[in-house]
Structure 1
Amino acid sequence: MTSTLQPKPADRVALIITVVLGAVAGVVTIVQAVIRIIRIVPNRDVPVTVAFADTPATLPVGPGGSPVAVVPQQVEILASDMAPITVFSLIAAEVIYALAVVTAIVCVSLAIRNIIRGRAFSTANVGLVGTLTFVVAIGWILTWLFSTMGANGAASALAGEYPENTAIPIALVVPFAIAALGALSAAFVAGNRLQRETEGLV
């Protein structure tokens, strides 16, 4: 005997809206990636965000546009004639990020479908949440790796040599998100086990 817990009508509508918004986000992500790749491929005046460590600069942000000393954390440069490995890294970062986002949206949408059908802690959902955690983790690591390689390569193309003051930015919120997804995956595993044990008593 399989027990199911159907969501309330209002919850069902909210879940369906979430799926629709996820689909829209997936399309937007793909379009943005394509536009970005189109700008990268010609290898001319490609905008690349580069992080620098403790590098002073002056910006006209004072009274009347007077220069003020600042220490920018990130700047956007326009790089041309980059090395092939740099162009590849920039394109790979965009492709991997888009694939990771779309895959994550698909996993969430399939999990929501199962929840709507009353199978929140099914084995399928356990697998989907586990896959979601893996995709987010690997996608973030690879996107960060190729983005850093591309940014450093772009800075090198602009400076004519490898700049020594480039930094490696890390978004700390992502590891926390991965840890949260790991905890959610563990909760789904526990819920699945508890549901199977409960069904065995019926």
Structure 2
Amino acid sequence: MDKDLRGQGKPSSRCGARSGAAFLIAFALGIYAVYSAGMLFKGLVHAQIDVRFDFEDSGLGTIDLGGHGTTLSGLTEVTLPTGDLAVETMIFLLIAKLSFILTLIGAAIAFVPIVRSIGRGDPFAVKSIRALSALSWVFSMGILVYFVAGILGSNLASRDLGIADDVGSNTSIAQTYIILGVLGIIEILRRSFVSGRRAQQELEGLV
């Protein structure tokens, strides 16, 4: 009996694999945040910023590509000179981009307690559950600010360029579904961890 109880506290190879997977997710989020920050800084150094427009059915998005006429359609990211945009437009665009970067960093940090708990062989620790709750709030608030500021910045940019009647919002229905799906997965994981914690406590009480 004592050997079994001692063995339960040792991290298994399966826990190591799960910890590695969680670490890869946190690492990927951190790397993408650094990449996004670098791209933003590079654009600002060259007095440029990326803006997304939804090109509707019009000839506005027609460009010359290698001698061939090409029409832009749907959600497309274009690079604009910062000098062509008003101050309020730049403020909203920067808020959107910075909120996205900070959300990625916050999500990566929130994964750290989860990685540590799984590595110790105790995935249902209280710290993991709190980390998932924090991850849900960080993701929700960050994405909300990102979408609101992004939509306002895109609309103001189209106004500054005089194309407000020819382009739509910078948010697609597919993006909305993806965000809701990610939030749903995080909430399912949190509830699963809470249930796992309760089951663990009940088993410990029986022992």
Q: Which TM-score applies when normalising by structure 2?
A: 0.77
From 108, 114, 124, give the equivalent of 2:127: 124
Q: Once structures 1 and 2 are overlaid, which stretch shifts more, 74-83 or 134-143?
A: 74-83
> What is the CA-CA distance between 1:101 and the residue it aligns to?
0.7
> What is the CA-CA distance between 1:181 and the residue it aligns to?
0.9
From 156, 160, 172, give the equivalent of 1:157: 160
In structure 2, the partner of 1:8 is 12
Check whether the contact 2:52–2:170 (CA below 8 A) recurs between aligned residues.
no
Considering fraction of residues, name the structure with more helix.
Answer: 2
* Residues 58 and 165 of structure 1: CA distance in aligned 2, closer, same or farther (over 3 Å): closer
Give the number of aligned pairs.
197
In structure 2, the partner of 1:143 is 146
Instruction: Give the RMSD, CA atoms, in angstroms.
Output: 3.2
Q: Which structure 2 residues correspond to residues 89-108 of structure 1 after superposition, within 5 A? A: 89-108=92-111
Percentage identity across aligned positions? 21
Distance (whole Å) between structure 1 residues aligned to residue 206 and residue 54 of structure 2: 59
* Residues 127 and 18 of structure 1: CA distance in aligned 2, closer, same or farther (over 3 Å): closer
Q: Which TM-score applies when normalising by structure 1?
A: 0.79
From 187, 196, 202, give the equivalent of 2:192: 187
> What is the CA-CA distance between 1:8 and the residue it aligns to?
2.5
Which residue type is aligned with residue 196 of structure 2? G
* Residues 137 and 51 of structure 1: CA distance in aligned 2, closer, same or farther (over 3 Å): same
In structure 2, the partner of 1:73 is 74
Q: For structure 1, which runs of at least 5 residues remain unmatched after alignment?
A: none
Check whether the contact 1:103–1:135 (CA below 8 A) recurs between aligned residues.
yes
Distance (whole Å) between structure 2 residues aligned to residue 13 and residue 193 of structure 1: 24
Distance (whole Å) between structure 2 residues aligned to residue 67 and residue 38 of structure 1: 30
Query: Residue deviations 1:100-138, cap 9 Å, x none?
Result: 111111111221111111221111111111111222222
* Residues 154 and 40 of structure 1: CA distance in aligned 2, closer, same or farther (over 3 Å): farther
